[in-house]
């Protein structure tokens, strides 16, 4: 029999229904949040696959179009490959729950969150996050939750819980935060709900505001944590037993450590990544060969011990010896270099290098017809700023087939796009579609942050009038007991061995985007504040280095970029610009070679790299939409002959009457003595009455133009 559990969440009711649908899943929850309904199911196989030493977890968030009363587009009329929003939400959930499965749990596990109804007022991601945690909580799958998420907005100095998309767009902050219940026995804690994951964007938000927002958000989600605890106690199943990871024989650990100690110390004082990895590979094989000479079956165990020693060696160096493998202090940034204008035909380009991480950013300018159309269940979005991140295998010294972008690439590109959005000009100030492609040429940590820096440089190189320079930095954390070390500009090894990956982007004024993943049981407010301010110092240092390459946007765009001219016409004249069946547009394009877009509000956008062609197109548009002016002479076409005169078209769709008395200086007996249908004739506008009727004169025009 189904059970319903509900609580107040930021002033709105949210309810979870269990034992209602999907009875064969290990756990299933139906979340109702207003008219938003999300079904979450979790299934974990009962038998582990042979040879696995990791958790094979799959998280899929999917939005059904019927949730918004829509029928899918395309030929097949059914949901297809996941869109960007679905991929990013899947990553968000995955990053929040993956660290909370116990060590040694290697069973194939799948989480599916399906949006069944969406009201565009109550956030589907928040509902999905809650449903995932609750479904895992009532299942027999071991999970160190519960967790819950909230979306935080900032408007007029007030934090808002799960605000509407409009409020998030107009406010100064859009932050998604996930917190978890503090495990019993945790010593160093400031809240009973600790931070697990956060990501978001802001309009140059100060560090203290971010800390306050996090504290506020952790307090807001407390009722959701308590709700899940009561559900688990009421209907939760007994958790599966997880075989504890057996500790290797200490004598074997000592043998491996003794054999590897000197080589590990030498390797981790080697700066270049590939040299260090080559030394570690040789050392690993030598140690394995030495230890397994008499017992080849020990090889997997020795490899595992060696990997643990690698991680321990890095942490020991940083925490106790106060040094990093490349000799930097905790706050030092790797050497930075940058160049711009390196691709002649791209409209803007930059190479940004920080240590062994190097990114090429290439920028292209287009027109409104190049905008990206994003179709979500919440509505359609037209993007005039596009950023794509690519991570080819050669950037880490690998050789493997090239494939389309994966979830990681899409996630990194989305983060860099968020970081750069606040500094872009408005469409009115710069009516171009902007696409940046980031090609990671070499990677040793922080390639997404290098993308932010390279992207900002390419914008300035392209002459985009950005408001400021944005830089990004990746921060790390190592914490053991009371010992805490915060690292600036982490490399790959430090990310792997550390307890936190915190990416922070912003201008000199404040933060524009951030993303944090935590591997330990939360961080205190003091650690968070220190990390943010240390990131700020690093960000300001990087910005100054970028200024040495290019300090301000170029004053003009590339000679190969389209020149855009905006012409405003009255909305009722749009049909005159387009013409019957689009003939007028086709004629303009045929005669001038420009690209032309016409909006319903009367905005006509003309794009061409040829200034003369653009000027001719502008003149043609103005001629098509011009209003008759009293006293002005026009060359018109005779459309119709009547006994008392002739009707002459002086502008497209605009006709006036030349009375027989205004045809010539002398007396005219028959109109056809002077004019025939189809003749071109000079006429002067004498009068336009209240009804818009136009009186013309050939006689007056001849007087001013004797020829």
Q: What was the pLDDT predicted at 399?
A: 93
Cβ atoms of 29 and 136 closer than 8 Å: no
Q: What was the pLDDT predicted at 190?
A: 44
Query: Phi-psi bin for 157: left (phi > 0), alpha (psi -120 to 50), beta?
Result: left
Exposed/middle/buried for residue 165 (C-beta within 10 Å: 0-12, 13-18, 19+): middle
Supply the DSSP string of 523-569, one letter for each residue: --HHHHHHHHHHHHHHHHHHHHHHHHH-SS--SS--TTSPEEEEEE-
What is 336-549's CATH superfamily? GHMP Kinase, N-terminal domain (3.30.230.70)
- Could you give the CA distance from residue 115 to residue 136 in angstroms, rounded to a whole number? 18
Q: What was the pLDDT predicted at 381?
A: 86
Q: What are phi and psi of 697, to 5 degrees?
A: -140, 125
- Could you give the CA distance from residue 422 to residue 420 in angstroms, rounded to a whole number? 6
Classify 336 as helix, strand or coil. strand
Cβ atoms of 610 and 602 closer than 8 Å: no
CB atoms within 10 A of CB 402: 8
Q: What was the pLDDT predicted at 369?
A: 84
| Stretch 468-486: mean pLDDT | 93
* Helix runs in 397-491, H state only: 407-420, 447-461
Nearest to 223 by CA among 463, 14, 481, 497: 14
More confident residue, 189 or 557: 557
More confident residue, 547 or 274: 547
Q: What was the pLDDT predicted at 235?
A: 95
Q: What percent of the chain has pLDDT over 70?
A: 98
Exposed/middle/buried for residue 93 (C-beta within 10 Å: 0-12, 13-18, 19+): buried
| Stretch 644-652: mean pLDDT | 88
Classify 506 as helix, strand or coil. strand
- Could you give the CA distance from residue 86 to residue 226 in angstroms, rounded to a whole number? 28
Greatest Cα pair distance, the chain, in angstroms, is: 125
Q: What was the pLDDT predicted at 119?
A: 92
Reported as a pLDDT band with limits 50, 70 and 90, residue 85 is: very high
Reported as a pLDDT band with limits 50, 70 and 90, residue 533 is: very high
More confident residue, 39 or 565: 39
- Could you give the CA distance from residue 414 to residue 94 in angstroms, rounded to a whole number? 16
| Stretch 29-40: mean pLDDT | 97
> Could you report the per-residue pLDDT of 40-54, keeping only the tens digit for each?
999 999 988 777 778
State the helix-helix crossing angle for 84-97 and 407-420, rounded to 10 degrees: 100
CA dihedral 657, 659, 663, 669 (to 10 degrees): 140
Cβ atoms of 115 and 5 closer than 8 Å: no
28-37, 245-254, 564-573, range with the lowest pLDDT: 245-254
Does the pLDDT at position 184 exceed 60?
no
| Stretch 459-464: mean pLDDT | 98
Does the pLDDT at position 706 exceed 50?
no
Q: What was the pLDDT predicted at 206?
A: 96
What is 3-182+203-235's CATH superfamily? GHMP Kinase, N-terminal domain (3.30.230.70)
> Could you report the per-residue pLDDT of 478-521, keeping only the tens digit for each?
998 888 999 999 999 999 889 999 999 999 999 999 999 998 87
Does the pLDDT at position 187 exceed 80?
no
CB atoms within 10 A of CB 28: 24
Helix/strand number for the chain, H first, E second: 16, 29
N-terminal to C-terminal alpha carbon distance within the chain: 97
Cβ atoms of 645 and 658 closer than 8 Å: yes
> Could you report the per-residue pLDDT of 319-377, keeping only the tens digit for each?
988 888 888 999 999 999 999 999 999 999 999 999 999 999 999 999 888 899 888 88
Residues 6 or more apart whose Cβ sits within 8 Å of residue 58: 109, 110, 111
Q: What was the pLDDT predicted at 245?
A: 67
Nearest to 148 by CA among 9, 299, 37: 9
More confident residue, 703 or 301: 301
Q: What is the mean pLDDT of the chain?
A: 91
Looking at the chain, the domain(s) classified CATH 3.30.230.70 span 3-182+203-235, 336-549
Q: What was the pLDDT predicted at 704?
A: 64
Supply the DSSP string of 5-51, one letter for each residue: EEEEETTEEEEEEESSS-TTSSEEEEEEETTEEEEEEEEE-SSPPTT
Q: Which fold has domain 633-704?
A: OB fold (Dihydrolipoamide Acetyltransferase, E2P) (2.40.50)
> Could you report the per-residue pLDDT of 96-150, keeping only the tens digit for each?
999 999 988 999 999 999 999 999 899 999 999 999 999 999 999 999 989 999 9
> Could you report the per-residue pLDDT of 376-395, keeping only the tens digit for each?
888 888 999 999 999 999 99
Q: What was the pLDDT predicted at 705?
A: 55
> Could you report the per-residue pLDDT of 666-698, keeping only the tens digit for each?
888 898 888 999 999 999 999 888 888 889 999
| Stretch 411-417: mean pLDDT | 97
The hierarchical CATH code for the domain 250-319 is 1.10.10.400
The hierarchical CATH code for the domain 563-622 is 3.30.1370.10
Looking at the chain, the domain(s) classified CATH 2.40.50.140 span 633-704
Reported as a pLDDT band with limits 50, 70 and 90, residue 452 is: very high
| Stretch 548-573: mean pLDDT | 91
Q: What are phi and psi of 410, to 5 degrees?
A: -65, -40
Looking at the chain, the domain(s) classified CATH 3.30.1370.10 span 563-622
Does the pLDDT at position 188 exceed 50?
no
Q: Residue for token digits 């006036």?
A: 656
Q: What was the pLDDT predicted at 374?
A: 87
> Could you report the per-residue pLDDT of 563-601, keeping only the tens digit for each?
888 888 888 888 888 888 888 899 999 999 898 888 889
Q: What was the pLDDT predicted at 189?
A: 44
């Amino acid at each position: 029999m189904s059970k319903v559990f509900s609580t107040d969440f930021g002033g709105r009711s949210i309810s979870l229904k269990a034992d209602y649908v999907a009875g064969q899943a290990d756990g299933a929850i139906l979340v109702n949040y207003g008219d938003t309904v999300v079904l979450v199911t979790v299934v974990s196989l009962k038998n582990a696959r042979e040879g696995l030493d990791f958790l094979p977890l799959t998280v899929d968030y999917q939005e059904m179009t019927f949730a918004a009363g829509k029928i899918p587009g395309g030929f097949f009329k059914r949901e297809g490959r996941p869109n960007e929003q679905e991929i990013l939400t899947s990553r968000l959930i995955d990053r929040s729950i993956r660290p909370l499965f116990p060590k040694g749990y290697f069973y194939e596990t799948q989480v599916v969150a399906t949006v069944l109804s969406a009201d565009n007022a109550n956030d589907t991601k928040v509902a999905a996050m809650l449903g995932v945690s609750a479904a895992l909580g009532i299942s027999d799958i071991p999970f160190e939750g519960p967790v819950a998420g909230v979306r935080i907005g900032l408007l007029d100095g007030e934090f808002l819980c799960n605000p509407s998309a409009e409020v998030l767009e107009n406010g100064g902050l859009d932050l998604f935060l996930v917190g978890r219940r503090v495990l019993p026995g945790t010593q160093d804690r400031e809240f009973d709900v600790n931070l697990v994951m956060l990501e978001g964007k802001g309009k140059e938000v100060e560090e203290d505001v971010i800390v306050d927002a996090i504290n506020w958000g952790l307090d807001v989600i407390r009722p959701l944590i308590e709700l899940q605890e009561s559900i688990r106690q009421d209907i939760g199943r007994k958790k599966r037993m997880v075989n504890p990871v057996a500790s290797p024989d200490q004598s074997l650990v000592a043998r491996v450590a003794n054999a590897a100690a000197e080589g590990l110390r030498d390797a981790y004082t080697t700066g270049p990544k590939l040299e260090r990895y080559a030394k570690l590979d040789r050392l690993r094989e030598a140690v394995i060969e030495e230890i397994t000479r008499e017992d080849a079956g020990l090889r997997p165990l020795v490899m595992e011990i060696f990997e643990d020693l690698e991680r321990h060696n890095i942490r020991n160096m940083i925490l106790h010896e106060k040094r990093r493998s490349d000799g930097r202090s905790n706050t030092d940034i790797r050497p930075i270099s940058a160049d711009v204008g390196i691709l002649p035909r791209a409209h803007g380009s930059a190479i940004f290098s920080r240590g062994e991480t190097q990114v090429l950013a290439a920028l292209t300018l287009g027109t409104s017809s190049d905008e990206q159309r994003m179709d979500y269940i919440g509505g359609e979005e037209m993007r005039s700023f596009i950023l794509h991140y690519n991570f080819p295998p050669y950037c880490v010294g690998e050789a493997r087939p090239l494939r389309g972008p994966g979830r990681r690439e899409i996630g990194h590109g989305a983060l860099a796009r968020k970081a750069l959005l606040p500094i872009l000009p408005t469409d009115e100030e710069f009516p171009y579609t902007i696409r940046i492609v980031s090609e990671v040429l070499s990677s040793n940590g922080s390639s997404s942050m290098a993308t932010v820096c390279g992207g900002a440089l390419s914008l300035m190189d392209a002459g985009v009038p950005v408001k400021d320079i944005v830089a990004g930095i990746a921060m790390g954390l190592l914490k053991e007991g009371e010992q805490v070390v915060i690292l600036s500009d982490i490399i790959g090894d430090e990310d792997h061995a550390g307890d936190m990956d915190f990416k922070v982007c912003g201008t000199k004024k404040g933060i524009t985007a951030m993303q944090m993943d935590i591997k330990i049981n939360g961080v205190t407010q003091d650690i968070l504040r220190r990390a943010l301010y240390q990131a700020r110092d690093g960000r300001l240092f990087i910005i100054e280095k970028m200024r040495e390459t290019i300090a301000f946007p170029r004053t003009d765009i590339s000679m190969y970029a389209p020149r855009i001219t905006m012409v405003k016409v009255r909305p009722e004249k749009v049909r005159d610009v387009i013409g019957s069946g689009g003939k007028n547009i086709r004629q303009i394009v045929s005669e001038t070679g420009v690209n032309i877009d016409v909006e319903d509000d009367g905005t006509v956008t003309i794009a061409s790299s040829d200034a003369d062609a653009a000027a001719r197109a502008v003149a043609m548009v103005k001629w098509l939409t011009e209003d008759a002016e009293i006293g002005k002479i026009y060359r018109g076409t005779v459309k119709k002959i009547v006994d008392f005169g002739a009707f002459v078209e002086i502008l497209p769709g605009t006709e006036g009457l030349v009375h027989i008395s205004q045809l010539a200086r002398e007396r005219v007996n028959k109109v056809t003595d002077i004019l025939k249908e189809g003749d071109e004739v000079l006429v002067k506008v004498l009068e336009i009455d209240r009804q818009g009727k136009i009186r013309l004169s050939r006689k007056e025009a001849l007087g001013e133009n004797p020829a």
